[in-house]
Amino acid sequence: MDRNPALTPEVIAGARAALEGDRACAIARNAVTSAGIASAARNPQAAALATTTFDIQLEQGDITDQKRSGRCWMFASLNTMRFRIMRKLGLKTFELSQAYPLFWDKYERSNWFFENVIATAVKPLADREVAYLLTDPLCDGGQWDMFRSLVKKYGVVPKEAMPETFHSSNTGDLNQHLTRYLRAGAKRLRDAVAAGADAGELARIKSGLMDDVYRYLVICLGEPPASFEVRIRDDANELKASGTYTPQAFFAEFVDMDLDDYISVINAPTSDKPYLRSYTVKFLGNVVEDGGVRYVNLPIESLKRMAVAQLSDGLPVWFGSDVGQSFLRADGVLDPAALDIDGLFGMDIEAGLDKAARLDYGESLMTHAMTLQGVNLDGDGNPTRWRIENSWGCDRGKKGYDIASDAWFSEYVYQVVVDKKYLTAEELAAYESAPVELAPWDPMGALAR
Is 153 in contact with 104 (CB distance < 8 Å)? yes
Give me the active site residues, please. 72, 368, 390
User: Residue 300 in contact with residue 410, Cβ under 8 Å?
Assistant: yes
Task: Name the region of 296 (left: φ>0; alpha: ψ -120 to 50; beta: rest).
Answer: beta
Cβ within 8 Å of residue 266, ≥6 positions away: 279, 295, 296, 297, 298, 414, 415, 444
> What is the spatial distance between Cα 302 and Cα 267, in angstroms, rounded to a whole number?
9
CA-wise closest residue to 404 among 323, 314, 342, 349: 323
Cβ-contact 328, 46 below 8 angstroms = yes
Measure the CA–CA gap between 112 and 209, rounded to whole angstroms. Answer: 12
Give the residues across from 297 on adjacent strands: 266, 277
Nearest Cα neighbor of 323 from 72, 143, 137 is: 72
Asked if residue 162 lies in contact with residue 230, where contact means CB atoms within 8 angstroms, the answer is no
Name the nearest CA neighbour of 180 among 216, 219, 128: 216
Dmax (CA) of the chain: 86
Q: What is the DSSP letter of 92?
A: S
Range 397-403, long-range pairs (CB < 8 A, 24+ positions): 397/329, 397/330, 397/331, 397/332, 398/50, 398/52, 398/332, 399/63, 400/63, 401/52, 401/63, 401/332, 401/373, 402/332, 402/333, 402/334, 402/370, 403/50, 403/51, 403/52, 403/332, 403/333, 403/334
SS3 243: strand
Residues 6+ apart with CB under 8 A from 272: none
**Best CA proximity match to 154, nearest among 227, 243, 242, 79:** 227
